[in-house]
Amino acid sequence: MKIICVDNFNRESITDDLVCTNVSEYYGEYIVDFLNKKFGGDNSFNFYRLVNDDYKLWKGMEELV
């Protein structure tokens, strides 16, 4: 599994960022919870998610061109 950082406001122009890979699902849930509590929040631009290894990162508006 991997941890990514996505835009908290779901704007299409903001790309996803890869935070780390090779994370177990068990520990990944704790890490994502910590990151969202420490660096996230309702007014934060960032939201951290745990996703499968085959998840394709969003590259923003450049994918639409």
Structural domain spans, the chain = 2-53
Can you tell me the distance from the alpha carbon of 18 to that of 63, in angstroms, rounded to the nearest whole number?
A: 17
pLDDT given at position 45: 94
- At 58, is the pLDDT very low, low, confident or very high (cuts 50, 70, 90)? confident
Q: pLDDT for 18-54, tens place per residue? A: 999 999 999 999 999 999 999 988 889 999 999 999 9
pLDDT given at position 37: 95
Beta-carbon count within 10 A of 25 CB: 9
